[in-house]
Structure 1
């Protein structure tokens, strides 16, 4: 992570997959409320589908939700996509793809007692658009993974995160303009 290369931004260089227990490139903060929102603005120029950057909810390397920018070969440009890990299973939301011609997007997650809405906008002066609503995140908890074979549970608790993955050549990076978290009453 570096703030010198682009002052006023947090630059995160892509590292290992979020499934990896070694060197995932994330910055995370613990969830401290049952109803809150967090958001960021990310700029990313991937040139391969194995390069991603974005934000999400993280319990451990087997359990997370990740809204991210990546390169789409079928679209020929950067797109917004959603990927989920649930008890070690990779779940791709192939019907949720938004082209991002400027390689930049603001993302917001609204978390409400185990369920999350993910929103996006492509410009500060635009309204928020729903990317996915009411995604079940109840399993991102000690209770959600305890007792499931292969899961440890009771380890970290829920985190919000921003990050970057580069399973291609480890040469990509993402610039994050801001990161905010606020409780909703």
Structure 2
């Protein structure tokens, strides 16, 4: 019976170990169930994030396409804007040249008036032209010296007016070409 008591104690220990093991198994099973639930939630969260990422990528592609179209449109408008800017600059320069030409035209008439005035003044102040060659040359030289500033002034004005006239024509052509494009 001592053997039976030992066997009984052994069975009792085995039963207690089985109860403890069953309890531990139940705890592990609960932990595994919790981890499986968390894994399911994480998987759903990952799936949602993947879906959101794919939607964001599609939106990015759509916006990239729109940006490319806008860029093409802007690039097509740029030459027109450049031509318009050039045309405006050429017109402004042409108008400034035209204003300078008007001023020079007034100066030209003043120079002609001064030339005529010096010729009349020379005729009034200086004695009449002699018939002898020596005194005639002296009189012509003195009258030429009296008129030379007016002649020089008028000549300079005419040269500047001619130069500006060419520039005016050139800028008018440039304006026309820039406007046509």
TM-score bucket of the superposed structures, by smaller chain: under 0.3
User: What's the TM-score, normalizing by structure 2?
Assistant: 0.16
Going by fraction, where is strand more abundant, 1 or 2? 1
User: What's the TM-score, normalizing by structure 1?
Assistant: 0.16
Going by fraction, where is helix more abundant, 1 or 2? 2
Pair member with larger Rg = 2
